[in-house]
Every structure is written in structure tokens, then in C-alpha cells.
Amino acid sequence: MTFRQIHPSDHSIPVTDLLGAYAPDPQVVAAAAQQGAPWIRVNMVASVDGAMSLEGRSGGLSSPADKAVFRVLRTLADVVVVGAGTARTEGYGPVRLDEDLMDYRRSEGRPALPRLAVVTNSGSLPADQPFSDPQRRTPDDEPVLVLTSARGAEVLSHSGDHLEVVVTGNDEVDLVAAMAHLATLGHVVVSEGGPALNTSMLRRGLLNELCLTIAPLITSGAAGRIVAPGLDEPVATELTHVFESAGSLFTRWAVKPHS
């Protein structure tokens, strides 16, 4: 597949190194680390008319190029974060990468795979959830992190050694404290939604970047948006790059700090 950079540029140029193109600025990551926080980007896909799913799942909007960017963003991350509802809807399994991407991570002295962290206020995780199935684990898998509240921890008290429960907050997850905990594991986090988690992070000023794939489809229907209702005011962003591949646009937006 071929990617072309169409912004910033006066003309289209080929993109030959996706890992380099999506690598976060080390100085920006270091500045976040000094504050005891990770640098967090969110990765989402939407149709031209703003739908975040097709027939109930985001995979219906995806493409081979989108999947390639998805894998690259996971490769560059220390932790992959997802809300429990999205994990359930999308059938999340353990994080998997191609062997060449795992070798890339090993060459940098990092684990072959990023950690998976699931956010749940209630602690409700179905017993048949693929990511928590011990039979699907490999020697490269570390326990799945479950970021939950004290209320949720009671539900998860017999979760087993394949899950590592991290408690912040009483009835709801304290996302600021939860993300600070992730900063002790690595400084780059990719969040994969869903909309409620995106809103909660935006309200708390936790997101640094949005990577948004715009699929060349108009879907209509009742699908939600990538951010749920609940923002107190609009959040300003700045467009930093646009790539194109097979009609899909791959946009990258810096999320501006709260004023």
C-alpha cells in the first residue's frame, strides 16, 4: 500500500517510514514525563459524515491502510488503553503485532508487546472476554491492566493472575491518577476509545493528540461520534499532518492545552 503526505506540503510526497512519521516528539514526551504523566494520543476512525462505526463496529470503516497505521501506533506505545465497553463491542483480544514490529520494539530495548489496559468503573468484565482468556496468552504477554474504582475492584476480587487490577477513585476511575500510574510503566500511551473514555480524558486535559482516519464512506444511520456528549466547551486542536492512501485520509491533530 502507498501513503502520500498531502499536508504539510505544497505537493504530494510518498511516505516510506510510517514509524518515523508517527513517532512522537521526544521533547514533548519528556515534558509530560517530568509532570508525572504519560503522553497520550487517541486513535479513532470515522466516516465522511462523522459516524464512528458501521453495523455497530469500527472495523466496518477500516481498510488495510488503516490497519497498518493502527499497528504502527500500537508499536510506538508503551501501553494501549481501551474502555471496557469498546473492548466488549470490538471483541478485544490480547495485543498482537507482526514479528518485524516486535523486533523493532526489542531493538529499542522495550518489551515485544505493549501492555493492554482496560478502563472500567464497574469492574464488569465478561468471563468470555478474549483479552482475559488465559489460553490466548503467549510468553510475551504481561497481565492485562484493569483500571477500575474501589467499587469495581470488589467485583474483580477473584479475577485471577492474568489480570492486574489498579484501583483509583471510589465509585468512578480517577483518570488522572490512573494515567499517572501508566506513566510509571512507559511514557507513550495510545487510547483506542471509545467515545465516553475520549470525553472523560478531554474534560481532564489528558489527551495530547488525536489520530483520526477518515474513511471514504457516507453511512447515515444512528452511529455515534468519536466523542460522547459531556464536554463543557469545545477543545481546540491543530492539524499537524494529513496522509492519503486508497481514498482514506489519515489526519493527526495536536490537542491544545486547556486555557
Instruction: Report how far residue 70's alpha carbon sits from residue 248's, in angstroms, rounded to the nearest whole number.
Output: 14
Average pLDDT over residues 18-43: 95
- CATH number, domain containing residue 162: 3.40.430.10
CA distance 152 to 146: 10
Range of weakest confidence among 10-14, 105-109, 246-250: 10-14
Decide: residue 23, CB within 10 A, 0-12 exposed, 13-18 middle, 19+ buried. middle
Could you tell me the residue range of the domain that residue 30 belongs to? 3-255
Between 93 and 160, the higher pLDDT residue: 93
pLDDT(127) > 80:
no
Q: How much of the chain, in percent, has pLDDT values that exceed 70?
A: 95
Q: Which residue has the higher pLDDT, 69 or 126?
A: 69
Sheet containing strand 248-255, strands side by side? 13-15, 3-7, 237-245, 248-255, 209-215, 39-47, 188-191, 79-83, 115-120, 144-148, 163-167
- Overall average pLDDT of the 161-173 stretch: 90
What's the 3-state SS for 198-238?
HHHHHHCCCCCEEEEEEECCCCCCCCCCCCCCCCCCCCCEE
Cα angle, residue 180 at apex, residues 177 and 186 outer, rounded to 5° = 150
Residue 161: what pLDDT? 64
> What pLDDT shows up at residue 134?
72
* pLDDT value for 133: 74
Mean pLDDT of 196-207: 96
The total number of structural domains in the chain stands at 1
pLDDT value of position 158 = 67
What is the per-residue pLDDT across 80-108, written as a single tens digit (0 to 9) for each? 999 999 998 888 888 999 999 999 999 99
pLDDT of amino acid 183: 96
The per-residue pLDDT for 101 is: 97
pLDDT of 17 reads 92
Global pTM reads: 0.94
